[in-house]
C-alpha cells in the first residue's frame, strides 16, 4: 500500500517535471526564433505553430507567415528550422511559392 502511494506520487512528479521542461524549452526556442526573424528582410509577421521534425529527424521548427512588399503577394508561408545541436536557424520558403 505504501509502495503504491510512493510510486503514484513519484509518477505524478515526473510527469509534472517533463511538462515543465518541455514548456520551458518551447518558450526558449520561440524566443530564439523570433530574434532570428527580426534579421530577415521579408517583414516577417508571425510564428504559427511548432513543426517537429522540420527538415530532418532531430530538429525543431516553426511555421512562419510573412509579408512580401517587393512582389504582389500579401502573405506567404514558410518555415524556419534549427537542428537540435546547432545555434543557427535556416529559413525554408514554401515550395509552392514561386515568387520567393
Query: What pLDDT score was predicted for residue 91?
Result: 77
Residue 100 lies in a domain: no
In a domain, 78, yes or no: yes
Residue 77: what pLDDT? 72
Q: Which domain holds residue 7?
A: 2-93
Q: What percent of the chain has pLDDT over 90?
A: 16
Q: Flag whether 98 is in a domain.
A: no
pTM passes above 0.75? no
The CA distance from 97 to 77, in Å, is 8
Question: Does any domain span residue 62?
Answer: yes
Instruction: Label residue 8 exposed, middle or buried (CB < 10 Å: 0-12, 13-18, 19+).
Output: exposed
Q: Give domain status of residue 66, yes or no.
A: yes
The pLDDT assigned to 68 comes to 64
Residue 45 belongs to a domain: yes
State residue 86 phi and psi, 5-degree precision.
-120, 145
Residue 40, pLDDT > 80, answer no
Strands 73-83 and 59-68: antiparallel
Q: How many domains are contained in the chain?
A: 1
Is the pLDDT score of 48 beyond 70? yes
State the Cα–Cα distance between residues 85 and 74, nearest whole angstrom.
Answer: 35
Amino acid at each position: 500500500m505504501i509502495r503504491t502511494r510512493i510510486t503514484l506520487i513519484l509518477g505524478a512528479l515526473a510527469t509534472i517535471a517533463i511538462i515543465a521542461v518541455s514548456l520551458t524549452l518551447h518558450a526558449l526556442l520561440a524566443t530564439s526564433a523570433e530574434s532570428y526573424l527580426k534579421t530577415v528582410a521579408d517583414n516577417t509577421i508571425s510564428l504559427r505553430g511548432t513543426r517537429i521534425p522540420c527538415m530532418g529527424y532531430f530538429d525543431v521548427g516553426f511555421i512562419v507567415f510573412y509579408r512580401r512588399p517587393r512582389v504582389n503577394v500579401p502573405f506567404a508561408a514558410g518555415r524556419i528550422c534549427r537542428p537540435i545541436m546547432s545555434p543557427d536557424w535556416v529559413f525554408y520558403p514554401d515550395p509552392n511559392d514561386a515568387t520567393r
